[in-house]
Each structure stands twice: as structure tokens, then as C-alpha cells.
Structure 1
Amino acid sequence: MSVDRKRRRRPEISIFQWLTLALVAAFIIVPFYTTILGGFKSIGELRTNPFGLPASWDPANFTGIIFGTALFRSLWNSLFIACSTVALSVLVSSMAAFALAHIRFFGSKFLMSFFMLGLLFPASTAILPLFIKLRDLGLLDKHLGIIIAQVAFSLAFSIVLFHSFFKRLPGELIDAARMDNCGYLRIYWYITLPLSLPIIATVGVFNFVGSWNSFLLPLIVLNTDTNYTWPLGIMQFQGQYGSDWPKILAYLTLTIIPAIGFFLLAQRYIISGLTGGAVKG
């Protein structure tokens, strides 16, 4: 009887929902499919047969990139910038969200609304004043300039996620800790953070992927080839009169694998972090 009840409770998926899911999946799978196969083709075959299988599976484009020095150097630069951005953004945004969620002070609602305004403005609108400020601080062509800028741009979204999660935590824990003469810093470090691993993973993945795929900010800040991130590494295959598209596609295939692996490892925490505060009780 219990098995029959579980089967009855499962909602039936209509044909329209299946078609919608198939259409969305096609929009995601087709670019990956053409990118991976394009790395095995020549320029002429890529133009005449962009979606079909390659005539010969020649891995020369992949091996030439793997055994070169530019790939791993750019991957290391991107990894260093992304991990530093994640660490700083999680630390700063979680501390700010904890203060806004559990400490009562004058202007807390105004500050929360002020942080939410950051969601309305894209980072590209501040590129020119950001470039001038980084130039004045001597942070051009340095990874630290990109890290600081990316942390600043990610704070609004991160604080909103942390604040929503912290508000759903049982208030009895905070009250019990206060009765034991625990300060807010100890409550934050020993009670709140251990209970917030799902939302930490969620914010970390969003910021990691955003930093990993960032192109405009490194393009403005970095000038030296040795400091380039992987999106800027594509420019080594672009000439004055043309681009080596098979090598570009092979390069994209190799550089997108770490982001996909990181996302697959943390997707369980992403889902639980986004839905953790959806239902109270």
C-alpha cells in the first residue's frame, strides 16, 4: 500500500513539460557538442560541417595546447583569482549578513536596502571609474586588483543569500549562546558558520563560476601575457586577419572542464542552500 501511495503522489509530467525540458537541454547540449567536436576538425571542415562528426579524429589541437605552457599558466591564474575571490567574498558577505540578521542597530534596514541596490547595476557600468581607481592605487596588471573588484561586485548578491539563510536559523541558538556570555564573533564563528555550509557552498560556486568566466574585467586590468586568465588566453589564437577556430574550440573544451567538475561536486549543496530557507519549520 505504501508503494502505491508513493506512486500516486508523484505528479505526472505532461507532454508540454517534456518538450520544454528537451528544448532547454538542446540549447545547453548543442553548444557543448559543437565545441568538443570542433576541436578535432580543420578550419575548412568546421565551416562546411560544423555539427557533424569529424572526418578524422585528429587530437593535434588538444595535444598542442596541453603540452604548451600558456594553458596551465592561465588556468593557474584563473584558479588563484577565483579561489581568492570566493574566500574573501564568503567571509565579508557572511559577516555583513550576520550583523544585519542578528544584531539590532539603527539603520540596519537601510543598509540592507542599500546592498540590494547593487543587484540593479551590472559591473560593466563601473568599468571606467574602476579602471581609474585601480590605476591610482597601482593595481593595474595585478591579480589583486581583479580580486578586490570582483569581491566588491559580488557582495550584493552574496549578502542577500546569506541574510535570507541566517534569518531562517533558529533564534533559540543565538539566545542560548548569548546567555552563556558568548560574543557575536564567537556566535558567528562557532555556531552560525557550521550550520551554514549549504549556503556557503552556494555562494562559493556562484562566485567561483562568475570569476572563472570573467572576461571584461581581466581585459581592462591585465596587460602582461604571464598574468592572463584563461578567457584572455584565447587571444593567442587570434591574428590580425583571422582566427584559428579549431584551436579556440579545443582550448575552450579544456578550460571549461574544471568549472563543470567543480559545479557537479557542489550541486547538491547549491540546491540545498537555495531551498534551505524556502520552507520554515
Structure 2
Amino acid sequence: MSMHARDKPAVQVAKPIALHTVTIVIGAFVLIPILYGVLGGFKTNQQLSTNPIGLPDPWVPSNYTDVLASGSFWLQLWNSVFIAVATTVITVGVAALAAFVFARFAFRGRELVFTIFASGLMFPFAVAILPLFILLRFFGLLNNPLGVILPQAAFGLALTIIILRQFFRSIPGEIEEAAILDGCTPFGFFWRILLPMARPALATVSVLAMVSSWNNFMLPLVVFNDPGLWTLPVGVQQFQGQFSADTARILAYVVLAMVPALAFYSIAERQLIGGLTAGATKG
């Protein structure tokens, strides 16, 4: 017993140290490339070749200011924001209605239909890119923002429905019965009571849909031939091809393209974690 008493504090001390060590290592793998990119954007190409990991000497802010002064960067930023917001609104709106039906209504074949929706998670986006391109060309949606928004929303429905259905099922049935006794219709219960109660889950799926749309590179690359419709991921790739010899300017462009996504995530992080935690505790 005495040996166990002596070993127990050692285990309690070693476990937090190990967790902190792993966290620091993972954080270093994430932060070091970002820091290298930020500092590299303030260097010249000569500095990058002679002093790749040191501080800029002298600092060259023109790489960043030149990108910010270009109209193409702001146009691509607007395109990314517009497509991400539209995708999120459609995905969450349609998924919320479908999840409400799957969670609160009993009908024959409900689980089969839900399984069909959930099976969408098994198909990678890249597998469908060729038939999707043919379909978009048939409907005349190439070089059209809807050609990106609608497929992104469709592919985002599966995960969104799964998350929202689980949350909607956790709402006590007594609340719905009381609302119906007060004269509330099923849609009125959904709109006035269920959605306000599901704000943490709605925030979670909104963040996931927004980030997924923002990072999508393949679909905008295939759909958009007009440079005026390019999103930031496509713009980064095209900018890299245009200035392939100017590494410092490419790093500045990439860093500036990351800033909106990092700013959005820093704002939405609490909602995302809160929604996931709420879903876990209610499930």
C-alpha cells in the first residue's frame, strides 16, 4: 500500500507533463510553417536564400502592400465570402428542415431514407468531379457561382443532417406536446421553439460548412474559367504560377489569404466547441 501511495503522485505528475509535451510538439508543427510564411513575406528572395529562418534584414513590407493594393485579391476575397455564406445558408437551412423531419416524425422508411442521406459521407468529393462537371455543363452552370454553391451545399448535407438530427432528438417531447396544446403547428414549433433551442448546434454546423466552402479548391478550379469569379484558393494557385520566381511575394499572398479564415475561426471557435460539447452532453 505504501508503494502505491508513493507511485500515485508520480503518475499524476507524469501524465500532465506528457500531455503538455505532445501539445507543444503539435503546436510547433502548426505554428512554425505559419511563422516562416509571415516572416518570409517581409523578406526579399535573396534574403530567403541566404537567411531562410532568421528575421528579415531589412524588413520589406512592399510584398504585402503590393498584394493589398491589387484589386484581384479583394475580388477573390469577396467571391470566397459570398460563396461560403450562400453555401452555409442553403446547407444549414435545408439540413435543418430534413433533420427536423427525421428527428420528430415517425413514418415508414424513415431510417432507410436517413441512411441514404448519411451514406453521402462515404463518397469523396473528388470521385464525383467528372460527372458533376458534365451535369453542371448540361444545366449551364459553368462560370456561375451557383455551379459551386449548389454542389457544395449538397455534399455538406449529410454531416449537417446527422449532427442536427441528434440534437433535435434530444429535445424533450413534453416541450413539443405543450406547444401543440397551445395551438402551435409543427412548423411553428420548429421555427419558434426548436431552432432557438438548437443555436449551439446550428452554430457548429454553420462553422463547419463555412470552413469547408472556404477551403474548397477543386470545384471552383473546375467550374470557373473567368478570373473575375476565382476564389482565394484558386487565386493563390494562379498567383503562384504567375510569380513562380518571386517566392517572397507568394508567401505574402498566401499569408494574406489565410488571415480571413483564421480571423473567422478565432471568432467562431467558442461557438464551435460549445456546440460540439452541447451535442455530446445531450446525446
Structure 1 residues 182-221: aligned runs within 5 Å: 182-221=184-223
The answer as to 2:264 corresponding to 1:262 is yes
Deviations 1:184-237 (A, max 9, x none): 211111111111111111111111111111111100000011111111112443
Between the aligned partners of 1:277 and 1:211, the Cα distance in structure 2 is: 23
Tell me how many residue pairs correspond in the alignment. Answer: 272
Which has the larger displacement, 254-263 or 88-97? 254-263
Corresponding position of 1:148: 150
| TM-score, structure 2 as length reference | 0.91
| AA aligned opposite 1:242 | S
Residue segments in structure 1 that go unaligned for 5+ positions in a row: 1-9
Q: Deviations over 1:122-157 (max 9, x none)?
A: 111100000000000000011111000100110011
Runs of 4+ deviating beyond 4 Å: 10-13
2:114 aligns with 112
Q: Determine the C-alpha separation between the residues in 2 that align with 1:241 and 1:65.
A: 12
Equivalent pair of 1:201/1:269 in contact (CA under 8 Å): yes
2:280 is paired with a residue whose SS is: coil
Aligned to 1:122: 124
Choose 63-72 or 38-47, whichever is displaced more: 38-47
User: How far 1:13 moved relative to its partner?
Assistant: 5.0
Please list the CA deviations of residues 213-270 of structure 1 after superposition, one character each: whole Å capped at 9, or x if unmatched: 1111100000011111111112443347934321221112112111111111121111
Structure 2 equivalent of residue 225 of structure 1: 227
* C-alpha distance 264-241 of structure 1, shift in aligned 2 (>3 A): closer
State whether residues 165 and 199 of structure 1, in contact with CA within 8 Å, keep that contact through their aligned partners in structure 2.
Answer: yes
Counterparts of 1:72-91 in structure 2, within 5 Å, are 72-91=74-93
What is the rounded CA distance, in whole Å, between the counterparts of 1:238 and 1:66 in structure 2?
A: 16
Q: Distance in 1 between matches of 2:238 and 2:112?
A: 47
Q: Decide which of 161, 169, 172 is 1:170's aligned counterpart.
A: 172
Percent of pairs with identical residues: 43
Contact 1:234 1:251 in 2 (8 A): yes
Match of 2:57 in 1: 55
Change (3 A) 1:171 1:65: same
Sort the Cα spacing of 1:243 and 1:161 in 2 relative to 1 into closer, same or farther, 3 A. farther
Give 2:68's aligned residue.
Answer: 66
Contact 2:167–2:282 (Cα < 8 Å) also in 1: no
Q: Which amino acid aligns with 2:247?
A: W
| Mapped contact 1:237–1:248 kept (Cα < 8 A) | yes
What does residue 242 of structure 1 align with? 244
Cα 1:216/1:66, change in 2 over 3 Å: same
Structure 2 unaligned regions, length at least 5: 1-11
Instruction: Indicate the RMSD between aligned Cα atoms, in angstroms.
Output: 1.9
Deviation at 1:24, TM superposition (A): 1.2
Aligned residue for 2:281, secondary structure, equals: coil
Query: Which one-letter code corresponds to 2:213 in the other structure?
Result: S
Give the conservation status (yes or no) of the 8 Å contact 2:243–2:250.
no
CA contact (8 A) 1:201 1:273 kept: yes
Once residues 120 and 48 of structure 1 are traced to their aligned partners in structure 2, the CA distance between those partners, rounded to angstroms, is 47
2:3 equivalent in structure 1 = none
TM-score of the aligned structures, taking structure 1 as reference length = 0.91
Query: What is the CA distance between 1:107 and its match in structure 2?
Result: 1.0
Which of the pair is proportionally richer in helix?
2
**Greater CA drift, 177-186 or 100-109:** 177-186
- Determine the structure 2 residue equivalent to 1:4: none
Letter aligned with residue 73 of structure 2:
L
CA distance in 2, matches of 1:11, 1:32: 32
**Separation of aligned partners in 2, 1:163 and 1:124:** 27
Distance 2:36 2:218 in 1: 25
Counterpart of 1:51, as a letter, is I
